[in-house]
Structure 1
C-alpha cells in the first residue's frame, strides 16, 4: 500500500468559521455541493473528493469555495449517501465498522457519476480533482485518460501501491510530518513509484502538522495555519500549471 487505511486521527479536528456561498443539488440519488467562479464558467472544474466528514462539513465547503474563487467550478459529491462520520466523534468511534458501508464498491459509482455529470451536463473541458484523506484514493484510482486530468491529494489514506502505479496524469501530494496513515516509509514508497511512471509529480512535506491538517488544522496555531494555506496554494499552482 502507498498509504494506510483511515483510523482515529481521521475524525478529529477544528471546525472553521465562515459562510459558504455554494449550494446543494442532486445528481441521481446523491447530493453535491457546487460553487461557481465569479465568471460562472464551467470550462475547468475541481472534483472535490472529501474526507470522511463529507460534503456538508463547513471546512470542506469553505475550501470548495476557495477553489471556485480561484477560477474553478467546484463539484463536491456526497460520497457517503448521507452517512458521513460526525465531526469530532470520540476515539471510540468504530471507523472499521463504518467503512463496511462505504467501500470502494459504494463510492466508485458516485465518483464515476460525478465525472459523467461534469463531462456531459457542464461540458467541462478538463477535470482537476482534489482528495483529502479518504477521498485521495478515488483521485488516484480515476487519474486516467477520459476521467480525471490532473490530481492533488493531501494526507492520503488507503491508497494501494498498484492504484498509484496505474495513474496516467500529473499528481501532487501534500504530506504531514506526523501521519500514521502516510508515514515516512509510505511517502518514500510513493516517491519511488512516481519516479518510475514518467508523469509529472510533486510531494511536499509540511513540518509541525499531523494527518488532516489541510482540512482540519487549528488556525490559531501559526504553523498549522501556514501549512493549511500553503497546501491549498500548492493545489492551485498545480492545477494552473496542468489544467489549462
Structure 2
C-alpha cells in the first residue's frame, strides 16, 4: 500500500502550500530568494529522494535558482514499480497541469521574474505539456517523457523546449527513440526554439545517479551507468535555462 504520509523535506527545502481553484497542495522550495524559478516535476515515484536530489542540484547551479517541487500525488509515494505505475495511471493529468500553472504563478508572485519547468519521466511529459498549456512558462527542459496527444500537442508549444532521451529507452511511444524523433518533428513545426538530444547507450531514467537511484534502476533491469552523459545533460540544461531565464 502506498505511504500516504507527507514526505519529510530534507534540510534545504521549505514546505509551502499553494492554492488553486478549490484545492491546496504542498510544494517544496529550495534556493535563492528572488532568483529565477524552476519547477521540478516528479517521476512516477512521487516526491522522493531522487527528485529532491535533482531540485537541490538545480538550485545550486550558477548563478543560483529557486526550485519548487509541487506534490502532484498529494503525499503518496510509490515504493515499488507496480505501485508507482498505479499512482501514475490514477493521476489526473489535466489537474496536474493546473498544479504546474499555480506553481509557476506562485513563484512569479513571490519574487521570481522568470520561471522554467523541468521534469523526469512522468514529470518530463508534464513539462513538455506545460510548454503547450501554461502560457506563463518561460522555458522547459524535459527528460525522457512525451505527453499523450490527448493532453498536449507539442507542435503547439509556446515556450522554448529542450528534451533529453536515452538511446536504449524501451518505454515505447513515451520515451523511446521513436517518441524522441516524433517530438523533435513536432517542435520544428511549432516554431519555438528547441533542442532534442539522444544519449547513446543510455536507458530510461539515466539521470538518476545517486547510490539509491542506481540501485533502484538496476532492480528494474537498467544497469547502464554513464556519468559523462549525466554531466553533459546537466551542462546543456544549465545553458538552456540561463539563456531563457536570466
Which bracket does the TM-score occupy, shorter chain normalised?
0.7 to 0.9
Gaps in structure 2 of 5+ consecutive residues = 1-9
* 2:159 corresponding residue in structure 1: 169
1:33 is the counterpart of 2:25: no
* 1:140 corresponding residue in structure 2: 128
* 2:4 corresponding residue in structure 1: none
RMSD: 2.5
**Is the Cα contact below 8 Å between 2:124 and 2:143 reproduced in 1?**
yes
Question: How far is 1:225 from its partner?
Answer: 2.1
Equivalent runs, 1:14-25 vs 2, <5 Å: 21-25=12-16
Question: How far is 1:95 from its partner?
Answer: 5.5
Equivalent runs, 1:1-244 vs 2, <5 Å: 21-28=12-19, 29-37=24-32, 40=33, 42-55=34-47, 57-70=48-61, 71-86=64-79, 89=80, 93=82, 97-120=86-109, 122-143=110-131, 146-160=135-149, 162-181=152-171, 182-215=175-208, 218=214, 223-244=225-246
Deviations 1:58-93 (A, max 9, x none): 12112111111111110111011112322xx15xx1
Aligned length: 217
Say which structure, 1 or 2, has more relative contact order (CA 8 Å, 6+ apart).
1
TM-score normalized by the length of structure 1: 0.79
The 1-side partners of 2:147 and 2:186 are apart by: 16
Question: How far is 1:240 from its partner?
Answer: 0.9
Question: How far is 1:100 from its partner?
Answer: 4.4
Gaps in structure 1 of 5+ consecutive residues = 1-18
TM-score normalized by the length of structure 2: 0.78
